[in-house]
Amino acid sequence: MVRDEHAELFQCPGERYQIHRSVCQGRQKRNYAKCAQCATKQALLETESKAKAEKQKMGIFKAYDIRGTYPDQLDETMARRIGAATAQFLRGREIAVGRDMRPSSESLAAALIEGVASTGTNVIDLGLIGTEMSYFAVGHYGYAGAIMTTASHNPAKYNGFKLSRENAMPIGGETGLANIQTILESGLAIAAERKGTVSRQDVYPSYKEHILRFLKNIKPLRVVVDAGNGMAGKIFPFLFGQLPLEVVPLYFELDGRFPNHEANPLKAENLRELQAKVVSSSAHLGVAFDGDSDRCVFVEETGRTISADLVTALIARSLLTPSERAVVVYDLRSSHVVPEEISRAGGIPCQERVGHSFMKATMRKRKAIFGGELAGHYYYRDNYFADSAMITFALMLNILSAQEKPLSEIIAPLRRYFSTGEINFEVADPDAKIREIAKRFAKGRIHYLDGITVEFDEWWFNCRKSNTEPLLRLNLEAHSPQMMEKARQEVEAVIQA
């Protein structure tokens, strides 16, 4: 077969006319007789296969970060390209690079560093750290940005990169990640005549000094800590080892294969051992961290899990003062307890859509003192508006140390409403279903900040699309268990119709 490079036309052996690529492909699928004589058939198939593989690899660019399975979706070659493209986008003098404990993180971070340095950009190698430490490094040392090698709470076969720019501002799909993907796909990253330098920076001492500033008069407490074989196993003892705490450790050994359970504290099954240990050891508090230690979930002394929105309400109450009238940002899935408690404590509640890039942007815009998401991320004005699980743990110690009663009694007044938690539904057309929901519940107060939120006097719900799957996610809350169940059935009937 003869190929016309300019017109993408092909000519079969023995034929005098040319055919388009699509006709050629159709003939191959039907085992066209002359395909067996075609000298370039295999080359065409290989070209198509490579194009398909490249397209699949570009699927690692998500809404908030870069993430995929290693090494089929994300390998060292891709990491090198990502490093070069990110450096080209940031155009800064120095970019920091950190990594977690996953088996593939060391080689991926090394390739990433090569890519960044190839553009003439200097690299600050932060070594083995947690994600929130990369945010701190950018803010504290004034780097142009940071790239953290991690797949966060995902299983061991995954890896990826979390990116931030100056002042620890996040790089997501709408704030630069799409540009980086374009640079990568287009080959626009230009190799410099002189490579950038690579130097090491030990961020741990400065980071510890920063975190400990949030502590106030900690009394002796017994705490169970589940590091999930993630980065908290290294970070937690370094930060809090000198406090008057009796720490009962679970899975502090760094092991990115996660041999005991997934490092995802949002899954109930991953908290069972922590809950049991809190009760059996008569601990005051339990905490579980995710793989890159930027997210945490708390357990009270009874073994009961505390939902993240109640933690948001509790911490907001402890940080707010009536004289400042500071803003606190919370995601719209949170219980109505959150804005009520913020207002009672003298703050200004500010609802925002789900996602750390939206939370952080609004916090900067409103100069908010604090923000909390239902996913277990907590953000602080005095932490470059970035999230920190370690600051959150420190503040929980403050709250427990300041009161002469157990955590369950402190939390109890906040459990005044009844929630379904997040329920996922597979639907063929999420947008059409949201329109149907709006029509069915038109008598409620409706807004579209993120999906659809409908409020009635004694119950409310939010239904929003997944960023990655054809799913609708439902969160519903009511004033009584009976009302919650009745309302849930009503909303589910519309979703599943």
Query: Which residues are catalytic, by number?
Result: 152
Give me the helix-helix angle, 232-240 and 204-212, nearest 10°: 60
DSSP state of 169: -
Residue partners of 224: CB distance under 8 A and separation at least 6: 247, 248, 250, 274, 277, 278, 281, 283, 285, 286, 287, 299
Q: Rounded to whole angstroms, how far apart are CA atoms 90 and 121? A: 10
Which residues sit opposite 11 in a β-bridge? 2
- Contact (CB, 8 A) for 313 and 342: yes
Q: Residue 264's closest CA among 149, 152, 379, 373?
A: 152
Q: Residue 340's closest CA among 419, 413, 443?
A: 413
Q: Rounded to whole angstroms, how far apart are CA atoms 308 and 297? A: 7
Could you give the C-alpha distances from 1 to 11, 22, 46, 267, in angstroms and in order?
5, 14, 15, 56
- Contact (CB, 8 A) for 422 and 266: no
Q: Which amino acid is at 471?
A: L
Cα radius of gyration rounded to whole Å, the chain: 26
Q: Rounded to whole angstroms, how far apart are CA atoms 455 and 336? A: 11
